[in-house]
Structure 1
Amino acid sequence: MTGPHPAVAACRVAVRDALGDLELGTRVWVACSGGPDSLALAAAVAFVARKQGLFAGAIIVDHGLQPDSAVVAERAAHEVRRAGIHTVHVERVTVGRAGGMEAAAREARYAALEARMDAEGGLDPLLVTGHTMDDQAETVLLALARGSGARALSGIPSRRGRIVRPFLTVRRKDTLAACQALDLDPWHDPTNVTEDGPRRSALRTKVMPSLVEVLGPGVVSGLARSAALLQADADELDRQARSAMTVPSSAARSDEWRCDMLAALPDAIRTRMLKMLAENKGAGPLTATHVSALDSLVMQWKGQGAISLPGGYEARREYGRLVISHPDHKERPQ
């Protein structure tokens, strides 16, 4: 008796490794677009859930951005049921414009996914997404092009909160092969291959094939491996920055920090700490430019005035201290 197709087996192993320590009855929701990655994930989750006594469901988000989006969503629901998941919810959302179409769609999508999970309840529910090793490699390249730091270069985390990404060790070609082996009919997003599609589409169809041609087929796994290594480093640096924030007597109040103490910290710790301090106050999200400006107040003080931060906040240096506050609620140091 022969086993499953190698691609099907690879998908199942990835899901089993990611979900192997869950308690009996845990709800696992698949975020499914109907594409090859999420459809292969749905099939793998259905298989592992039966073996491990988990509850498997799927949530499909209809962004309403294309004329036939409702048809695509219903087709995805049909294929998910064929893949073995019978509890399927289709959520229709309205996508705003803040931050660009991609960012707005992502925000609306995850809000709908989280809302449905909360509404259904259950034992420590998890959301699994179909991000693959190829997605990871593309994310690293986009971060490199922006001149990002270690956190962004560490790519997509395998787990963050309730979101788990089992397929970061699986190639996109394997998810497609798994769908073919299981006789599933995935939807192929036309924006992934069009010239005027998202920037990631051009990266996927033009840049990555060229890199593979020049550097060899190992470039995708190499980029993903670098992301994993950087993720461990970034996690440790963030931990040290959080620890530095708890040092007694480093601040007179929660919005004031002694610049001499900040200046004594290593660059990698201090800049992370500055970002955390500002975002904890409510400013953010901060870009590298904002963090650099904050650092200049500490390390290159020449009498410059306050700098503006997102959310209407500002940072300034007063009496040797870094103060982060909202202009409407300024207080003078005691």
Structure 2
Amino acid sequence: MGGVSATIAATLVRMLDPAVADVRRAVREALAPFADSGARILIALSGGADSLALASAAAHEAPKVGLEPITVTIDHGLQDGSAEIAERAADLARGFGIRTARIERVEVGSAGGPEAAARDARYAALRRVASEEDAVAVLVGHTLDDQAETVLLGLARGSGSASLSGMSPHSLDGLGLAWIRPMLGLRRETTAAFCAAEGLEPWQDPHNSDERFSRVRVRERVLPVLESELGPGIAEALWRTAEQLREDDEAFADMIDETIEDIVEHAEAGIAVSVPALHANPTALRHRIIRHVVESEFGVSLTRLQTLEIARLVTDWKGQGPLDLPGFQASRRGNLVIFTASAQEITQST
């Protein structure tokens, strides 16, 4: 009897659609660090093909390793019928066997443009729900195609290797919440095939074809031209580039962590960095330390030009005055570069 059961099981494995197998395997590997903890994991579910495949695979894999999957669908309220779309996604999650399928309505502001404002509202809601549900991790459905688009957008901004390294498959935020992207190594066509194999009908977000958005233009215009002119495999090449640069960034981050405690000290309304110590470091590490200090202290991502101007206070100082930059000021005082919050920032924080 046992032999018959084993034969049936083997046959079912052979019959499993390759796309379903690929997505489930990716999710299973991503969940492995949390296995047998009894923890809750939160899945961001929009109702599109990527997030549906993710939620379905997580519903299948998480209970096997003692984890409880829950979903949250963010209703941005930007389209007619958004409440119904969100409810349909939650119903699908319940159909997967997920008991807790939440819907969160958010207010989208205007800071940074519509894409950035919607993203900020969405991630704030995900963090809030994760806290309310005591989730240890948030799973999001970004794919290899999303990663390729992110790398190209970073290249266009000229914002350095941090942007070109793209999204991390696994990261921790300041609150210790894990952000996991199990499908970064899978193509978008795989999640579409998963849904087809499982009989799921994904929601087609009209914003995903709205060429007012830069990411859509990259997807619909830029990548197809690159594929046509340079040959197939561009998305995979961009993904590999991101992987390699992320390894480099992680190595630099370790070096910065080892260095920064010895060269940084607190200053009034800001922070100070030793000029001799900065000068002694290689140029690449010096620039990364400057960017790290500014990002950590003021939440500002420096451009290449801004980084170089601050570095001149170290390497080419001829008595020049303070640099007024967004949210903060950088100045040279003796053997220190002083970073202080701008007067406006100080006023807003008091």
- Give me the TM-score of the superposition, normalised by structure 1: 0.91
Would you say 1:18 and 2:34 are equivalent positions?
Answer: no
Q: How far, CA to CA, are the matches of 1:188 and 1:252 in structure 2?
A: 51
1:135-190 per-position Cα deviation (integer Å, ceiling 9, x unaligned):
01111111111112111110010111111000001110000010011011100111
Identify the match of residue 272 of structure 2 among 242, 253, 256. Answer: 256
State the Cα distance separating 1:252 from its structure 2 match: 6.6
Identify the match of residue 265 of structure 1 among 281, 285, 306. Answer: 281
Corresponding residue number in structure 1 for 2:313: 297
Structure 1 gap segments, 5+ residues each: none
Corresponding residue number in structure 2 for 1:177: 193
Contact 1:241/1:270, CA 8 A, preserved across alignment = no
Contact 2:164/2:245, CA 8 A, preserved across alignment = yes
Q: Which is worse superposed, 272-281 or 37-46?
A: 272-281
SS of the equivalent of 1:90 reads: strand
Residues 214-293 of structure 1 aligned to structure 2 (within 5 Å)? 214-247=229-262, 250=263, 253-254=266-267, 255-282=271-298, 284-293=300-309
**Cα distance change of structure 1 residues 168 and 300 upon mapping to structure 2, 3 Å threshold:** same
SS of the equivalent of 2:116 reads: helix
Identify the match of residue 7 of structure 1 among 5, 19, 25. Answer: 19
Contact 1:306/1:315, CA 8 A, preserved across alignment = yes
Contact 1:297/1:317, CA 8 A, preserved across alignment = yes
Q: Which is worse superposed, 63-72 or 284-293?
A: 284-293
State the Cα distance separating 1:253 from its structure 2 match: 4.9
**Cα distance change of structure 1 residues 32 and 236 upon mapping to structure 2, 3 Å threshold:** same
- Give 2:151's aligned amino acid: V
Structure 2 gap segments, 5+ residues each: 1-10, 173-177
Q: How far, CA to CA, are the matches of 2:237 and 2:205 in structure 1?
A: 27
**Cα distance change of structure 1 residues 281 and 193 upon mapping to structure 2, 3 Å threshold:** closer
Identify the match of residue 94 of structure 1 among 107, 127, 138. Answer: 107
Identify the match of residue 43 of structure 1 among 45, 56, 65. Answer: 56
Q: How far, CA to CA, are the matches of 2:264 and 2:187 in structure 1?
A: 49
SS of the equivalent of 1:168 reads: coil
1:186-234 per-position Cα deviation (integer Å, ceiling 9, x unaligned):
00111111333x1111111111122222333322111111101100101
Contact 2:159/2:303, CA 8 A, preserved across alignment = no
SS of the equivalent of 1:324 reads: strand
**Cα distance change of structure 1 residues 46 and 252 upon mapping to structure 2, 3 Å threshold:** closer
1:118-146 per-position Cα deviation (integer Å, ceiling 9, x unaligned):
11225xx2110000000011111111111
State the Cα distance separating 1:327 from its structure 2 match: 5.4
State the Cα distance separating 1:257 from its structure 2 match: 2.7
SS of the equivalent of 1:185 reads: coil
**Cα distance change of structure 1 residues 274 and 208 upon mapping to structure 2, 3 Å threshold:** same
Contact 2:323/2:329, CA 8 A, preserved across alignment = yes
SS of the equivalent of 2:189 reads: helix
Percent of matched pairs sharing the same residue? 42
Q: How far, CA to CA, are the matches of 2:142 and 2:46 in structure 1?
A: 12
Would you say 1:110 and 2:126 are equivalent positions?
Answer: no
**Cα distance change of structure 1 residues 288 and 83 upon mapping to structure 2, 3 Å threshold:** farther
State the Cα distance separating 1:86 from its structure 2 match: 3.1
Corresponding residue number in structure 2 for 1:156: 167
Would you say 1:69 and 2:82 are equivalent positions?
Answer: yes
Q: How far, CA to CA, are the matches of 1:229 and 1:315 in structure 2?
A: 32
Identify the match of residue 144 of structure 2 among 133, 136, 139. Answer: 133
Matched residues, number: 324
**Cα distance change of structure 1 residues 177 and 261 upon mapping to structure 2, 3 Å threshold:** same
**Cα distance change of structure 1 residues 251 and 120 upon mapping to structure 2, 3 Å threshold:** closer
SS of the equivalent of 1:77 reads: helix
Identify the match of residue 218 of structure 2 among 166, 182, 203. Answer: 203
Contact 2:166/2:242, CA 8 A, preserved across alignment = yes
Q: How far, CA to CA, are the matches of 1:48 and 1:129 in structure 2?
A: 15
Corresponding residue number in structure 1 for 2:4: none
SS of the equivalent of 2:16 reads: coil
**Cα distance change of structure 1 residues 327 and 10 upon mapping to structure 2, 3 Å threshold:** closer
Q: How far, CA to CA, are the matches of 2:309 and 2:191 in structure 1?
A: 44
CA RMSD, Structure 1 to Structure 2 (Å): 1.9
Contact 2:86/2:103, CA 8 A, preserved across alignment = yes
1:19-74 per-position Cα deviation (integer Å, ceiling 9, x unaligned):
12313222111101100000000111011013222101100000111122112111
State the Cα distance separating 1:114 from its structure 2 match: 1.1
